[in-house]
């Protein structure tokens, strides 16, 4: 289980609460599923699977409200409506409660899957991941919940060093001794491709000393 620590930051973020469907309202911190997608955007192969140990919040949790243009229609798999959605006829303005000025350290590791071949080793993939982090390479630009909120990423230093970097720029750092975040979306169960409705899974989220621990939590449906 080769581990990596990745630093993510961005001007805006929105990790949408699924229970609030009409207008987007973000969780206080990233969901494990969102973070996994961010890591997969940097590096992913069928031979490996990402697992999240923890997420450390480096900057104070700040919300802001914006009004955004969204499309309320949904295109069918067959490309219905004779060519797809006409945006001008399906545009709607909705409010969104977003996070602003965010920075996180993600502590994660990967394991080999059943699709790994004889040439796939943990050392090989770990070396590739380290090189991609050092060079800023990615398959697709990682984003913070919504595609328009791009994330800057690099290999992380230790928490103390990262906090000192933030302070040196004259910015505030997070000081969260304890915060109960309630039930948070863990991920969506895709194990049954025939299911008409995908099953979300949740866990009890708690921020302790700026850290949201993911590994070992009890996941419920």
| Residue 170 covered by a domain | yes
Q: What is the DSSP string of the chain?
A: -EEEEEEEEEEEE--B-TT--SSEEB-SS--HHHHHHHHHHH---TTEEEEEEEEEE-S---EEEEEEEEE-----TT-HHHHS--HHHHEEEEEEEEEEEEEEEEEEEEEE-TT--TT--HHHHHHHHHHHHHHT--SS--BSSSTTSB-EEEE---HHHHHHHHHHTT------SEEEEEEEEEEEE-S-TT-SS-EEEEEEEEEETTEEE-TTPPPB-
Query: What is the reported pLDDT for 73?
Result: 62
Q: Is 220 inside any structural domain?
A: no
Q: Go through the chain and tell me how many residues it has.
A: 221
Residue 184 falls inside a structural domain:
yes
Q: What's this model's pTM, rounded to 2 decimal places?
A: 0.89
Give me the domain span that covers residue 103. 2-72+86-213
Note whether residue 125 is domain-resident: yes
Give the model's pLDDT for residue 26. 96
The CATH number for 19's domain is 3.30.70.2660
- In-domain check, residue 80: no
Question: What is the reported pLDDT for 38?
Answer: 98
What is the pLDDT at residue 82?
53
pLDDT given at position 92:
77
Asked if the structure places residue 157 within a domain, the reply is yes
CA distance 114 to 107: 24
The whole-number pLDDT of residue 189 equals 80
pLDDT at 54: 98
How many domains is the chain partitioned into structurally?
Answer: 1
Residue 77 lies in a domain: no
pLDDT at 78: 53
For each successive 10 residues of the chain (221 residues), what is the average pLDDT? 91 93 90 96 96 98 88 59 63 87 98 94 95 96 95 97 97 97 90 75 97 95 81
Domain contains 78: no
């Amino acid at each position: 289980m080769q581990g990596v620590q990745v630093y993510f930051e961005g001007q805006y973020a929105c990790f949408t609460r699924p229970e609030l469907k009409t207008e987007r309202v973000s969780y206080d911190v990233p969901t494990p599923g969102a973070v996994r997608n961010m890591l997969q955007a940097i590096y992913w192969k069928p031979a490996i699977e990402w697992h999240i140990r923890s997420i450390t919040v480096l900057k104070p949790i700040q919300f802001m409200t914006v009004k955004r243009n969204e499309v309320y229609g949904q295109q069918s798999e067959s490309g219905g409506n004779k060519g797809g959605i006409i945006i001008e006829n399906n545009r709607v303005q909705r409010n969104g409660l977003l996070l602003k000025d965010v920075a996180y350290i993600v502590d994660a590791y990967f394991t080999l899957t059943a699709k790994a071949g004889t040439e796939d080793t943990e050392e090989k993939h770990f070396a590739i991941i380290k090189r991609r982090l050092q060079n800023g390479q990615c398959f697709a630009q990682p984003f913070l919940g919504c595609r328009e909120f791009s994330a800057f990423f690099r290999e992380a230093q230790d928490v103390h060093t990262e906090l000192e970097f933030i302070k040196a720029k004259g910015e505030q750092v997070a000081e969260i001794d304890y915060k109960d975040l309630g039930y948070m979306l863990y991920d969506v169960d895709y194990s049954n491709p025939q299911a008409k409705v995908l099953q979300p899974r949740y866990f009890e989220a708690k921020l302790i000393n700026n850290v949201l621990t993911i590994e070992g939590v009890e996941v419920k449906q």
